[in-house]
Structure formats: structure tokens, C-alpha cells
Structure 1
């Protein structure tokens, strides 16, 4: 399988024609990780976006999308209503079924992640190397699609710098995910990570700014708060504006739980070294991605100490977006 070359210096692929923009209808279930991948690809390609949320209807919401007899009958009407746009971009299993069903000669279907169905039903598939899918319509990207851009980071840095100005350098951003069916972030796992972060703060005189995600269990959040806040760490309480992009922009180093390809892809798109906090559990696909990030030197496993080494931002979103436009002739 040929992997297209990385392009890490350039994000803007085209400038939108204000009089005749290409509009992508974004089709995803209400999961931030999927939605941000589709939006990131569309934005990097210079498309205008029309965001639609896929809401499965009963009884299909209790079944895997692979078992839906007709995708257009299994979802609420909001995702199906016009206008159609110039192409569809989806991410995830439900989106794969729906964009394949809605595809027309004048409405190309693009899916992010392995669709787990006939690849010929899509005009383009954005896949990872470990998806092991090939074909003339497959674009292989080493990292997940996302919305982390130099411009967005610069904007976030200006907004959030005053909030974190009291924290001494080096400043470590900690990105916490959660249990997902393959990995487990329970109280015991949270305690182990929190203890490692506390040891790093004590031994390396590092400051910590930590953000949980919507998937982080309340008990795990409490564990981080109770362990790290007394040492001066800033732990987001999930209220008010989300500091995520500000933390990415300001970090001298990043620690991120290794349960999410999307979250790690966003971290490695910055100029900061990234350390992976591994979790109990197993996923061949996610594990292969994390191991690749370590093997190429872009990430290291977190061992309770601050590690700093020279890195270059790693981001395949611009490459995939440019290749998508080329293949679709847009």
C-alpha cells in the first residue's frame, strides 16, 4: 500500500470562491471525534460546510449500522433534508451506510475511516495504514483528520495566554480521554496517571494544565483534581469555554491518554513533544497507531517524568484534503 508523502508546512489548500463555493454536507453521529475529523478535512480542502447530525431511529438505534436494512429509513429526517451540497463527507460506521445510500453521480460520497463495506460505493475513502484497505479511491493518511491548524493555535494562544500566565514553565498540557469499550480509564487507571503526573511535577518542577473530555468518568476527574490541584495544577472543571486549543497552543510538552487516535493526532500536529499515557485494555488498530507514533519518534510513552526532545509537527490533513480535491476534480 502506497502512503502518500506528508505535508506538514501547509494547511490552506485553496481559497473559497465566495460567489460559487464548494459545499460539503457533513454527516456524522453526535461524537466530537468523528465530527471534528470530517470538519477538519472539509476546512483544509477549502469547502464550505453544512453540518448534519445522524440520529438513528428506534429500533435501529439499538443495532450496529452494519445491520440496518436501509440506512435512509433508519435515521431521523434532519440528516436527509436538502440542500444536498456538492459532496458528502462522513466519518464512522453510521455515516458510511448513509453516504453510500445517498450517493449520486452529482453527489460524491467521501468516508473517513474504514467503511466496513464495499469500497466501490464511495468516491473517496480516507483510511489509516493499519486499516489495510487499498484501491484507486483510497487515500492513506498516517494521522486522523482534525481541525488543529497553525492559525487556530495562534488565535487560541492569544486568547488563553492570560489564563495560564501564572503557571511557571515548563508547561505541560494533559489531555484525558475515557473508557471506550477497548480501553479502560477507571479510578485505578486515573490514580496511576495522576501519581505519575504528580511525580513529574515534583521531580521536574513542571506545571500542569489538565482537561478531561466528555468521556472522562466523574470519579476519574475527581482523582486528578484531588491529586494535582494541591500541587498547583490547573484542572478544567468542564464549565465555561473549552480550553483545549489554548492548551495545545501554549504547551511546552503534552501528555495524552492513548485511547483516542483523534486526540493524539491533534497533539502531534503541534510543535510540542507528546507523551502517551497508556491505559488498560487492547485495540489492534489504536495500538498500532500509538506504536507508530513512538517508532517514528513523534511520541514517547509517559513514565512519570518530563521528557523534552526536538520534534516536527506531524499532520496529514492537508495532504488528504489536497488529494481529495484532485481526485474529485473540485
Structure 2
């Protein structure tokens, strides 16, 4: 027969074991998810630069905090590389707190500023060739045609952008009723403009309009066209005069921008070859891309366009619809994943 002390010990042991079982069987309470790092995005007010920096931040899972770099007089008349202190050369609103967990910039002004703001606890990432000492940045994300390599450089085949499968699916649903009446195959036309290296002047606009009109007449395509902020009024008028009577849908630059909806719904895309960003966004879809070459010359941009043709992702536009099996070319997710790995986020 067990003693009173032994009976007590057994009772205590059973109670302790029951308590342990209760702990093991209790629902697991996970720790609160860690908030996404905040990326302060700094660039001048250019849509192409902003789209690249924002696209990188979104793909990396960062929370973007976009700030516009606005140079003050007299610094606005000088190259950013000549600013003695870039923090004093710009509107201070861009530097107002909170500063975030990292800096992402795009373009020359951003490079000059980030090189000054970078700290050990505030890494700096620049998009495009910074045209300054690359060791002043924790990471550089640049396209192959930018011609820069190094231990802190992530090289992509195309420019960074915000085109994703999810965004295209959402925009397809939103814009399908707007373009439903247009014939198929449906061609999206993305129009840039003169930029100091290429010209979309009166003669170039007329030649482009004639090529698009020929495609509509001979290939019986539906056509939806969006100009950009760089497309001057004369070029827009020339395109509208040639294409609207043939049933083309042309954005009048009022209301919501149809750009992503057009990418989502197109069976083919014609894009002027003055913009690496627009061609990169078109190449991220899974439809043929046709390059409308413009008068002018840029070694860097021309090399990119030639590479797109050489790899089979694009062909030159010659006034006719050209269809072939196409696959998405999109290096933004790769660059974003590699950036997180390198920075330890």
C-alpha cells in the first residue's frame, strides 16, 4: 500500500503532466507579422523614372513612399553632378520624415542625392547607370544596355516597370467593355515623342500614321492608341486625322489612363522605339511587339531595340500586322528578389 507522501507525489506528477498537455494542445499564437520595409522613392517628376523605381519597390514587397525631387533656383539650371550639396539644392519636402528603411532612386538627380544620404542603416539603391562612383550605392539595378557591371550591380535585360500578371488581369476586366466593339485582332499603339535623341516631328508623325492606316485597311485590325505626355499636339492631331475615321479608339488624354488596359487586351502591340520603358512594358505581356523606329540616333537606346529584335521578342513595324508566338520578357521580379537577398530584407 502506497504511503501518503507517495500518493501526494503521484497526484502532483499527474497534475504537472496535465498542465504540460494543456500547453501542447493549446492553439498556437504566432508572432505578429513583421511589417514590410518602407522604401523612400526619390526621382524627378518623370513618369518613366518613377515607374521603374516604383515597380522595383512593389515587386520586392516594400511599402513605397514616393517623393519628387524638385531642384531650386539656381540649381535647377545646373547638372545635378555640379550641386555642391544636393540636400540644399532641392525642395526640402522630399527629405521630410519619416525617412524609411531604404532609399530607391532613379535618374541622375536621384543618384547625386542618394550618394549623399546613404548611411550604414539606410541603404541606397539606384536604378539606371548613376554616372558616378558605383561604390557610393549598396546596389545598382541597370539594364544591359546601360553598360555597367560590378559586384553591387544587378543587370536586367529590360527596364524595370509595374506590369504584372495580376495588374493585367485587373485592367482587362476593367477595360474590356470599353474596347469590346473594336474588331479583332486588336492592336494597341503606344506613342512616345521627341526626346533629344529621336524625333516625332510632323514628317515622322505622318509616316507613322500612314503605316498604321495601311495596317487597318489591309489587315482589318481594331486599333486603340494612347499618346504620352511627350507626344506633342501636332503629332496627336496627325494620328487622329488618319486613324479616327477608320474606327480607331484614341485616348484624348482626359479621364483615366487606359495604358495598362490596352496592354492587357491587345493581340499585338506597336510601340514607338524612342522609349526603353514603353518597349519593356510591352515586352512583359505575352503578345507580339512591333517597333516603330523614329528618325534620330541613340547608341544606348538603339542597342536595346536591336537586342529586342535579335532575341525574337520584337520585330520592326513595316505597316502590316505581324503575329507570332510570343512569351513575356520581364526581369523585374528577378531584380527585386536579388535586391532583397543582397540587402538582407
TM surpasses 0.5: yes
Return the alpha-carbon distance in structure 1 between the equivalents of residues 144 and 315 of structure 2. Answer: 20
Secondary structure in 1 matching 2:148: coil
TM-superposed CA distance for 1:227, in Å, is 0.3
Match of 2:66 among 51, 64, 83: 51
Question: Considering only aligned residues, what root-mean-square deviation do their CA atoms show, in Å?
Answer: 0.9
Secondary structure in 1 matching 2:35: coil
Return the alpha-carbon distance in structure 2 between the equivalents of residues 223 and 119 of structure 1. Answer: 44
* TM-score computed with the length of structure 1 as normaliser: 0.94
1:181 aligns with 2:196: yes
Return the alpha-carbon distance in structure 2 between the equivalents of residues 183 and 168 of structure 1. Answer: 32
* TM-score computed with the length of structure 2 as normaliser: 0.90
1:247 aligns with 2:242: no
1:265 aligns with 2:265: no
Partner of 2:16: none
TM-superposed CA distance for 1:143, in Å, is 0.6
TM-superposed CA distance for 1:130, in Å, is 2.2
Partner of 1:63: 78
- Residue-pair matches, total: 314
Larger % of helix: which? 2
| Greater relative contact order, per chain length (Cα 8 Å cut-off, separation 6+) | 1
TM-superposed CA distance for 1:65, in Å, is 1.1
Of the structure 1 ranges 150-159 and 127-136, higher mean CA displacement relative to structure 2 is found in 127-136
Partner of 1:85: 100
Partner of 2:176: 161
**Residue segments in structure 2 that go unaligned for 5+ positions in a row:** 1-31
Cα deviation, 1:172-227, whole Å, max 9, x if unaligned, reads 00000011111111111111010000000011011110000011000000001100
Partner of 2:251: 236
Return the alpha-carbon distance in structure 2 between the equivalents of residues 222 and 104 of structure 1. Answer: 50
1:297 aligns with 2:312: yes
Cα deviation, 1:236-294, whole Å, max 9, x if unaligned, reads 11011100000000000000000010000000000110000001111111000000000
Secondary structure in 2 matching 1:154: helix
Cα deviation, 1:61-95, whole Å, max 9, x if unaligned, reads 11111221211111110111111100000000000
TM-superposed CA distance for 1:19, in Å, is 4.5
Partner of 2:143: 128
4+ long deviations beyond 4 Å: none
Secondary structure in 2 matching 1:209: strand
**Residue segments in structure 1 that go unaligned for 5+ positions in a row:** 1-16
1:112 aligns with 2:142: no
Match of 1:318 among 321, 330, 333: 333
Q: Give the conservation status (yes or no) of the 8 Å contact 2:144–2:158.
A: no
1:211 aligns with 2:223: no
